[in-house]
Structure 1
Amino acid sequence: MDVVLDHKELIKYPFLKESQQLARRHVESLEEFLGSNSGAAALERAKARVIAALSAKREFQDENTQNLRPEFEIASYALARILVSCIGDRSLIDRLARYEAERASFFLEAEGPEIRQFVAWSIGINTGTVVLPVTDYVELVPHLRDLRWRLINRDVRQGTVHLEPGEIDELIRERIRVILIDQLPLRVPPGICERLEPVTKEIAASYQQQILEQFGEVKEEAFPPCISSLIQAITTGGNLTHMGRFAITSFLHTIGVNITGIAEIFARAPDFDLEKTMYQVEHISGRGGTEYTPPSCATMRTFGLCANRDKDCERVNHPLSYYRLRKNIKKRRS
């Protein structure tokens, strides 16, 4: 498409090749850039982007209020990707990709049709259509959780999926997220990661603090009975199904237990295999490319993993909700 975005617009969509070309013209050497005043300011802005991605409440503002020149504001996007790549936590990478996609979507809502069409066209989506070929649709929606996106719930005619008003905007946001997360983590030279270590440590600490604020200190006595039963099965040498291992690992990962801590749970098994366990735990914890959430109570029942239900189980529909409930009860009693 024959559309030229000015610098103010490129700031809003730093993933576009035009935005990246602008930044490259002004940032030839990453080492030198990090040592400059502009680089230090861009790094601070990059840290702020990652911290903002951790927040459950997303607030976006006009990027023209930033003090950085456009090319360095765009560079802060690149530095944010470098920061999360150095940290290496897949869930953090997923959050940054989601944040940047939501940020771009926020600005697109206020754009005129030409810019909207150009940005969408740049990522392979035609905003003028109300239908998508089934193959394109299936590629776009696998990680959208709302049941309405399932192909069986769609209006499919002659190999195309019909879209409702506004759905193309949701698909644009999802497409941006998928593109960004597929590019990460970046292969960052060890020397760069070492130089950025003070910032990455600060981000990692902030991320851990957020988890603690959401779930608090890990309390095994507050675990839902289904999770406790699975852990007991491990201790007594039971042979857990893949879904059982997935449920334990994703639950523990979500409430803030690190990979070593999760492996220590599985180490209670008489036939513990460190190499095999670490591979499985790292994959389920997100190192394999996707951040997984624990299965709901309904899913646990479907797979025969719901055990020893108690009165508190009747009040929730997810193991994480049970965990929060029991921790709150214990806190009030203490």
Structure 2
Amino acid sequence: MDIVLDRKELIKYPFLKESQQLARRHVESLEEFLTSSPGALALERAKERVIAALTSKREFGDENTQNLKPEFEIASYALARILVSCIGDRSLIDRLARYEAERASFFLATEDPEIRRFVAWSIGISATTATLPVTDYVELVPHLRDRRWRLVNRDVQQGGVNLAPGEIDELIRERIRVILVDQLPLRVPSGICERLDAVTKEIVALQQEQILEQFGEIKEEAFPPCINALIQAITSGANLTHMGRFAITSFLHTVGMNTTGIAEIFARAPDFDLDMTMYQVEHISGRGGTEYTPPSCATMRTFGLCANRDKDCERVNHPLSYYRLRKNIKKKRS
């Protein structure tokens, strides 16, 4: 499409190639840029982007960008991607991608129709269509949890999926999210990550603080029966399936246990191998790009990992919900 976005429009959609080209014309060397005054401002703005993603802040219209030229505001987007790549936590990567997709969607909602069509076209979607080919639709919706997105619940005619008003906007947002998450983590030189160490440590500390606020101190006695069963299996020397290892590791990681603590759980096994365990734990915890979110109760049942169900299991649909419930019950009793 033959449309030229001005610099103020480009900062709304920093993932566009036109936006990135603008930033590259003003940032030739990342190392030199980080030592400059604009680079320091852009890094501070990048930290704000990651923290906003982490804290679910969604006040997009109130972003503090007045001190940055458009090209440096776009550079802050690139630096935010570098920060989460240096940290290497999959959940943080997912949150940043979701934040940036929601940010773009916020601006698109009130955008000039021509610009809106251009942004959608740039990511491979027609913003004016009320129907999507089945193949395109299936590619877009696998991570959308609402049952209405399942193909069996859609009106399909002549190879096309009919969309209700507003649904194309949701699919555009999801397409942006998927594109961004698929691009991460970036391969960042170790020297750059070392230079950004102070900022990444600040972000990680905030992330850990949030986990503590959400789940509190780790209480093994509040673990759901399925997780306790997996721990028991480890202790008895049973060989866990990949899904079993993934379930227990992702659960423990989510409730705030560090890799050393998780490895200590696996150390209860008679045939414990430290090097192999640390590799698997770090990989499942997100460093290898594996999905971070622990499996739901339905998934646990599917893989035969739902064990020793009790009355509290009937009240929840996720092991994390069980953990919160039991901790709240114990807190009230104490």
TM-score range, shorter chain: over 0.9
How many residues were matched structurally? 334
Contact preservation (8 Å) 2:252, 2:262: yes
Q: Which residue of 1 aligns with 2:66?
A: 66
Q: Which region of structure 1 is more displaced relative to structure 2, 295-304 or 11-20?
A: 295-304
**What SS does structure 2 have at the residue aligned with 1:187?**
coil
Deviation at 1:126, TM superposition (A): 0.8
The within-5 A match list for 1:78-97 is 78-97=78-97
Counterpart CA distance in 1 for 2:305 and 2:11 is: 48
Q: Which residue of 1 aligns with 2:205?
A: 205
Counterpart CA distance in 2 for 1:332 and 1:39 is: 50
Q: Structure 2 length normalisation: TM-score?
A: 0.93
Matched, 1:214 2:236: no
Counterpart CA distance in 1 for 2:192 and 2:251 is: 33
**What SS does structure 1 have at the residue aligned with 2:270?**
coil
Which deviations, in whole Å up to 9, do the C-alpha atoms of 1:44-100 show, x marking residues without a partner?
110010000101343312558532111111111111111111111121111111110
Counterpart CA distance in 1 for 2:129 and 2:106 is: 21
Q: Which residue of 1 aligns with 2:127?
A: 127
Q: Which region of structure 1 is more displaced relative to structure 2, 261-270 or 15-24?
A: 261-270
Letter in 2 for 1:308: N
Q: What root-mean-square deviation, in Å, do the aligned CA atoms of Structure 1 and Structure 2 show?
A: 2.0
Q: Which residue of 1 aligns with 2:162?
A: 162
Deviation at 1:108, TM superposition (A): 0.5
**What SS does structure 1 have at the residue aligned with 2:132?**
strand
Q: Which residue of 2 aligns with 1:238?
A: 238
Q: Decide whether aligned partners of structure 1 residues 128 and 84 sit closer, same or farther in structure 2, where only a CA change above 3 A counts.
A: same
Q: Which residue of 2 aligns with 1:115?
A: 115
Counterpart CA distance in 1 for 2:274 and 2:223 is: 24
Counterpart CA distance in 2 for 1:223 and 1:298 is: 17
**What SS does structure 2 have at the residue aligned with 1:268?**
coil
**What SS does structure 2 have at the residue aligned with 1:323?**
helix
The within-5 A match list for 1:242-321 is 242-321=242-321
Q: Which region of structure 1 is more displaced relative to structure 2, 189-198 or 273-282?
A: 273-282
Q: Decide whether aligned partners of structure 1 residues 57 and 34 sit closer, same or farther in structure 2, where only a CA change above 3 A counts.
A: closer
Unaligned runs of 5+ in 2: none
Deviation at 1:242, TM superposition (A): 3.4
Deviation at 1:279, TM superposition (A): 4.5
Deviation at 1:325, TM superposition (A): 1.6
Q: Which region of structure 1 is more displaced relative to structure 2, 270-279 or 323-332?
A: 270-279
Q: Which region of structure 1 is more displaced relative to structure 2, 189-198 or 52-61?
A: 52-61
Letter in 1 for 2:183: Q
**What SS does structure 2 have at the residue aligned with 1:132?**
strand
Q: Which residue of 2 aligns with 1:15?
A: 15
**What SS does structure 2 have at the residue aligned with 1:12?**
coil
Letter in 1 for 2:281: V
The within-5 A match list for 1:185-196 is 185-196=185-196
